């Protein structure tokens, strides 16, 4: 993954820049897990956005929202992916909405 890719958080870009061997190993694992994924691309990206929201990892949301949009996700689907975590994770998932919608609208 290119550290200058749109939507990559400062934290992840720093990780890639300052620990390139670790970042390469991490991305290798990520790519392997992605290859094993049985979900279609759009669904996979939407689920990932929902997980990020549930874990309150908002800095990663813009990057993954842009990937979801590129895979055909609608704005309403992005909102639903975030809010589906409400019962299990609580209203903290709403913290991801501003970043997600801004990323969707700019992509």
What residues does each domain of the chain span? 7-36, 38-106
pLDDT, tens digit (0-9, with 9 covering 90-100), for 8-56: 888 999 999 999 999 999 999 999 998 999 999 999 999 999 999 999 9
Q: In CATH, what is the architecture of 38-106?
A: Up-down Bundle (1.20)
- pTM value is 0.84
Q: How far is CA 58 from the centre of its chain?
A: 9
Question: Percentage of the chain surpassing pLDDT 70?
Answer: 93
Task: Find the farthest-apart pair of alpha carbons in the chain and give their distance in angstroms, rounded.
Answer: 39
Both tokens assigned to 22: 């670790």
Closest Cα to residue 99, out of 55, 67, 54, 53? 53
- Structural element, H or E, at residue 16: helix 10-18
DSSP, collapsed to helix, strand or coil, labels residue 107 as coil
């Amino acid at each position: 993954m290119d550290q200058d890719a749109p939507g990559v958080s400062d934290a992840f870009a720093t990780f890639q820049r300052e620990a390139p061997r670790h970042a390469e190993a991490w991305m290798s694992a990520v790519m392997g897990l992605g290859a094993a994924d049985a979900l279609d691309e759009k669904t996979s990206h939407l689920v990932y956005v929902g997980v990020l929201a549930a874990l309150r990892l908002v800095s990663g949301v813009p990057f993954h929202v842009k990937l979801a949009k590129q895979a055909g996700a609608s704005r309403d689907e992005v909102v639903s992916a975030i809010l589906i975590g409400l019962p299990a994770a609580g209203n903290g998932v709403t913290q991801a909405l501003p970043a997600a919608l801004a990323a969707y609208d700019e992509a």
